[in-house]
A and B are shown apart, each in its own frame.
Chain A
Amino acid sequence: MAMTILVVDDSATMVMSLETTLVMNGFQVETANNGQLALDKLKGGIKPDLILTDINMPVMGGLELIGKVRALPGFRFIPILTLTTESEASKRTEGKRLGATGWLVKPIAGNDLIKVIKQVLPGA
């Protein structure tokens, strides 16, 4: 059965290109346009195998989302990758502290993205 990835980004082009890339590579995809919508989906029963989130988003950003996801029951160990233009070291450090699995800087080649996802998702 295909693994599910929750893509969180406020950019329509990012959501669409990531969804197309991931589906093409055999994953199922759920999407949300900000951290709050992503959190609502998770609380609503969506249980993805991995979360791929932007950092700078309106309403709720990626760092806040990571912290709140880690506090949810059953989401302590789910891999969370950030995919962001944010390259500031302090933000990265904060992401790591909050429980991010990895930090990816946009733009990232499709193959590199799939490689990283397979690295943190054994069996994918």
Chain B
Amino acid sequence: MVRSDNGIQNIEDESGLMRETTDSELARVLTGRAEMRRELSDSRSYIDVMHGQIGDSLVESEREVLSAIEQIGHLITNSTQQRKNIALSVQSGKDLTESTRARVESNRKTIVRIEGQLQEQTNEVRSNMTRVQDLAGEVSALKPLIKTITAIAQQTKLLALNARIEAARAGDAGLGFAVVASEVKELASLTDKAAAEISDKIALVCQKVDEELTDARNALNRHESNDAMSDLIGEVGEMQQHFSKNGELLLEVIAGVDTNYSESVNHLSQALGHIQFQDVMRQRMGSVQEALVEMREHLQGLSGKLDDTCWDGQLDTSFKTLLANQIGSYKMASQSATHHGIVGSMADGDHGRPAIELF
């Protein structure tokens, strides 16, 4: 701007051409410049506040994320403990089931043994009954002998009577024969008595044998009709099946708990991976904070220059330069992508490698 003696000055317009201006125009320009300087100066507080907002947000987000991770940690600790408790309970259950199953198996074998012994007893009873039946048959075979003995006794009596008659008829000559006849009579009497006794004894034996036979038959029926032992064996078998099913159920419970725990670990691992966004955001925002400080210092520099009447209009730096410098400060591919997306420039390809690379 060049001042002339006639109050008309030459100033450079927006297109760089020199044109004449009046004092009033100059005053407006100076006022605007002073206002601009104030504005630039005031931008410090504005930028500092934005810088502080970002900083506090980062601190707050870090605190909250740490709290969330802590909660997840508690959840994991509890889940792990629960898993251990369930595993212990299941193991105790398995041990109990196994010992009970062994006891049931032992009882089943005992019952089978008892059943075998009972079967042997039944066979013995059946054998005894057969023997008693045979004995009864043999005793019954004695009954006809009673008639034979009785008949012999009667014939002997008749023989004795005839002998006495014949002895009497012979007179003295028959005296000796009479003695024989008397002895035969005595014999007949004894035979008759013996026949009666034998008959009674045989009848008694027959009765006793019949009673024994009846008892043996009843005992055999009782043994053969006793199903309790078979039922017991069946029940024990069912118990074994139940225990076997319970064992399988416990194994399913274990497998279910393990599967759920693995899935939980999987999901929580993913969630904790996502939480890394806080660190990514912290670094991106940190970069923005640094840029804000640069912008603040640049604007303050401009403000100072507007106060400097000797300023030749040359800038130490510019927003173009600052923006270009930003590209070199980026550490993340996402930062570069955002930058190039907004300014419409091309990425240099330095960030194109995979996120996971093993050397």
Question: Is A12 in the interface zone, CB < 8 Å from B?
Answer: yes
Taking a contact as CB atoms under 8 Å apart, the answer to whether B69 and A16 are in contact is: yes
Contacts A85-B331, A100-B359, A101-B359: A25 and B276 contacting too (C-beta < 8 A)? no
Taking a contact as CB atoms under 8 Å apart, the answer to whether A21 and B273 are in contact is: yes
Q: How many inter-chain residue pairs (CB < 8 Å) link A and B?
A: 126
Q: Which residues of B contact A90 (CB under 8 A)?
A: 350
Taking a contact as CB atoms under 8 Å apart, the answer to whether A87 and B69 are in contact is: no
Taking a contact as CB atoms under 8 Å apart, the answer to whether A20 and B350 are in contact is: no
- From A36-44, A70-78, A109-117, the one touching the partner chain is A109-117
Q: Which residues of A contact B353 (CB under 8 A)?
A: 87, 89, 92, 103
Taking a contact as CB atoms under 8 Å apart, the answer to whether A104 and B73 are in contact is: no
Question: Is A106 in the interface zone, CB < 8 Å from B?
Answer: yes
Q: Within the complex, what minimum Cβ distance (angstroms) separates B358 from chain A?
A: 4
Taking a contact as CB atoms under 8 Å apart, the answer to whether B76 and A20 are in contact is: yes
Taking a contact as CB atoms under 8 Å apart, the answer to whether B66 and A16 are in contact is: yes
Question: Is B9 in the interface zone, CB < 8 Å from A?
Answer: no
Q: Which residues of B contact A89 (CB under 8 A)?
A: 350-353
Contact of B274 (CB < 8 Å), options: A103, A107, A114: A107
Taking a contact as CB atoms under 8 Å apart, the answer to whether B282 and A20 are in contact is: no
Contacts A17-B69, A87-B351: A114 and B276 contacting too (C-beta < 8 A)? no
Taking a contact as CB atoms under 8 Å apart, the answer to whether B331 and A101 are in contact is: no
Question: Is A105 in the interface zone, CB < 8 Å from B?
Answer: yes
Q: Which residues of A contact B273 (CB under 8 A)?
A: 17, 21, 107-113
Q: Mark B320-359, 1 if CB is under 8 A from A, else 0.
A: 0000000000011100000000000000001111011111
Contacts A13-B279, A111-B270: A25 and B265 contacting too (C-beta < 8 A)? yes
Contact of B355 (CB < 8 Å), options: A14, A23, A105, A111: A105
Contacts A85-B279, A87-B331, A110-B269: A116 and B351 contacting too (C-beta < 8 A)? no
Give the docked Cα–Cα distance between A14 and B266 (Å): 18
> Taking each of B266, B271, B273, B278, which has the highest tally of chain A beta carbons within 10 Å of its own beta carbon?
B273
Q: Which residues of A contact B319 (CB under 8 A)?
A: none
Q: Mark B244-264, 1 if CB is under 8 A from A, else 0.
A: 000000000000000000000
Q: Which residues of A contact B277 (CB under 8 A)?
A: 107
Question: Is A49 in the interface zone, CB < 8 Å from B?
Answer: no
Give the docked Cα–Cα distance between A120 and B64 (Å): 33
Taking a contact as CB atoms under 8 Å apart, the answer to whether A24 and B276 are in contact is: no
Question: Is A30 in the interface zone, CB < 8 Å from B?
Answer: no
Taking a contact as CB atoms under 8 Å apart, the answer to whether B359 and A103 are in contact is: yes
Question: Is B154 in the interface zone, CB < 8 Å from A?
Answer: no
In the complex, residue of chain A having the shortest beta-carbon distance to the beta carbon of B269: A110
Q: Within the complex, what minimum Cβ distance (angstroms) separates B267 from chain A?
A: 9
Q: Within the complex, what minimum Cβ distance (angstroms) separates B305 from chain A?
A: 35
Contact of A106 (CB < 8 Å), options: B62, B66, B276, B359: B276
In the complex, residue of chain B having the shortest beta-carbon distance to the beta carbon of A107: B276
Question: Is A28 in the interface zone, CB < 8 Å from B?
Answer: no
> Taking each of A9, A16, A85, A111, which has the highest tally of chain B beta carbons within 10 Å of its own beta carbon?
A85
Taking a contact as CB atoms under 8 Å apart, the answer to whether B66 and A103 are in contact is: no
Taking a contact as CB atoms under 8 Å apart, the answer to whether A104 and B359 are in contact is: no
Q: Within the complex, what minimum Cβ distance (angstroms) separates A65 from chain B?
A: 16
Give the docked Cα–Cα distance between A111 and B331 (Å): 24
Give the docked Cα–Cα distance between A17 and B277 (Å): 11
Question: Is A48 in the interface zone, CB < 8 Å from B?
Answer: no
Taking a contact as CB atoms under 8 Å apart, the answer to whether A106 and B350 are in contact is: no
Question: Is B72 in the interface zone, CB < 8 Å from A?
Answer: yes
Contacts A101-B359, A108-B356: A16 and B70 contacting too (C-beta < 8 A)? yes
Q: Which residues of B contact A24 (CB under 8 A)?
A: 76, 80, 265, 268-269
Give the docked Cα–Cα distance between A20 and B270 (Å): 12
- For residues 59 through 95 of chain A, which have their beta carbon under 8 Å from a beta carbon of chain B? 84-90, 92
Given A89-B350, A89-B353, 19 more contacts at CB 8 Å? A12-B66, A13-B62, A14-B279, A20-B69, A20-B73, A25-B265, A84-B331, A86-B331, A87-B331, A92-B357, A101-B359, A103-B357, A109-B274, A110-B266, A110-B271, A110-B273, A111-B273, A116-B356, A116-B358
Per CB-CB distance, the 4 closest pairs between chain A and chain B, nearest first, are A110-B269, A107-B276, A110-B273, A102-B358
Can you list 9 A-B pairs with a CB-CB distance of less than 8 A?
Answer: A13-B62, A13-B66, A13-B278, A20-B76, A85-B280, A103-B353, A105-B333, A108-B273, A109-B273
